[in-house]
A = this chain, B = another copy of it.
Amino acid sequence: MTIAATTPLARLSEAMASDMNAVNALIRERMISENAPRIPEVTAHLIDAGGKRIRPMLTLAAARLCGYEGDAHVKLAATVEFIHTATLLHDDVVDESRQRRGRPTANLLWDNKSSVLVGDYLFARAFQLMVEPGNLRALSILSNAAAVIAEGEVLQLTAAQNIATSEATYFKVIRGKTAALFSAATQVGPVIAGSPETQVQALFDYGDALGICFQIVDDYLDYGGAGDGIGKNLGDDFRERKLTLPVIRAIAAADDAERAFWERTIARGHQEEGDLDQAMALLARHGALESTRQSALDWAGRARAALAAAPAGDLRDMLADLADFVVERVN
């Protein structure tokens, strides 16, 4: 696997470069606050760290794929990135994270208060932006997504440390915290393009499956992605006692001694030196990482399949390839 300009993500970035420049300019313009300089400081710290901007790119690509020729997609793409950035700020407070995108988190550099309030500001800016194009259905989709995201985060919070968490709950959590924004990002494209319902549904399904795939890969890498340079530390989820897919599957296959191990480390939180190695050994023993990888592949396949009902062309091919690319990180 090469990570040169030949990756599907790079090709998509190239195809969307002009639109994405407009999105970036809009983000910079709207993150300014004359009254409270702390706001652009905190926001710039996160935005300059440069995520992949995959979510706004999905909005742009979905709109163009469906033949949209206006410029409202730029505002909706910036909306999506603002919602994402706001959730990152709040997530890092909730998870007490110290590193994000390879840099110290805002809650560490400033404080939790700033992260909470600047996150609120970005949420509000997102809503201002989404109102501007005046498309009520797009407004409804994006505001629903914001509610589902928050619901998923709360569900994750209450499911953490509970070793009885089922796969069904896991999928509810990741549909909320990750897939809801992906599917809203892709769905608003055909909506503002005025596309037929089959295409609106196709792009929703694509974003939903891609988002689920993306999160499963993320959860896989937390146990299996040493040194992949994503700025996340191996075992963070274990230390935070999160019930992710590999662990849920290992617990489902656990014998009594193993169950006692998970009970102690995840439910009671008594973790000792060597416990992460032991957890990894248990995942390996039950093929939990391999089966998680298979699930990611399965969802990538669903994402690709959903695109069958979308307009054919280069952009559709790139989006289809993007689904495979997301899973390549676990190969």
- Interchain CB contact (< 8 A) of A128 among B120, B125, B143: B143
Beta-carbon contact of B124 and A154 below 8 Å: no
Beta-carbon contact of A136 and B131 below 8 Å: yes
Beta-carbon contact of A38 and B158 below 8 Å: yes
Q: Which residue of B lies closest to A157 (CB)?
A: B113
A330: CB under 8 A from chain B? no
A98: CB under 8 A from chain B? no
Beta-carbon contact of A118 and B154 below 8 Å: yes
Beta-carbon contact of B155 and A36 below 8 Å: yes
- Interchain CB contact (< 8 A) of A94 among B39, B87, B116, B155: B116
Contacts of A152 in B (CB 8 A): 35-36
Q: Smallest distance from the beta carbon of A37 to chain B beta carbons, Å?
A: 7
With the chains together, A121 CA to B120 CA distance in Å? 11
Q: A131-B140, A134-B136 are in contact. Are A176 and B35 (CB under 8 A)?
A: yes
A93-138 contacts to B (CB < 8 Å) = 93-94, 112-114, 116-121, 123-125, 127-128, 131, 134, 136
Beta-carbon contact of A151 and B33 below 8 Å: yes
Q: Smallest distance from the beta carbon of A90 to chain B beta carbons, Å?
A: 5
A residues bordering B, Cβ < 8 Å?
Answer: 33, 35-39, 87, 90, 93-94, 112-114, 116-121, 123-125, 127-128, 131, 134, 136, 139-140, 143-144, 146-147, 149-155, 157-158, 172, 176
Q: Give 8 nearest A-B pairs by CB, closest first.
A: A121-B150, A124-B146, A124-B147, A36-B154, A127-B143, A120-B150, A36-B155, A94-B113
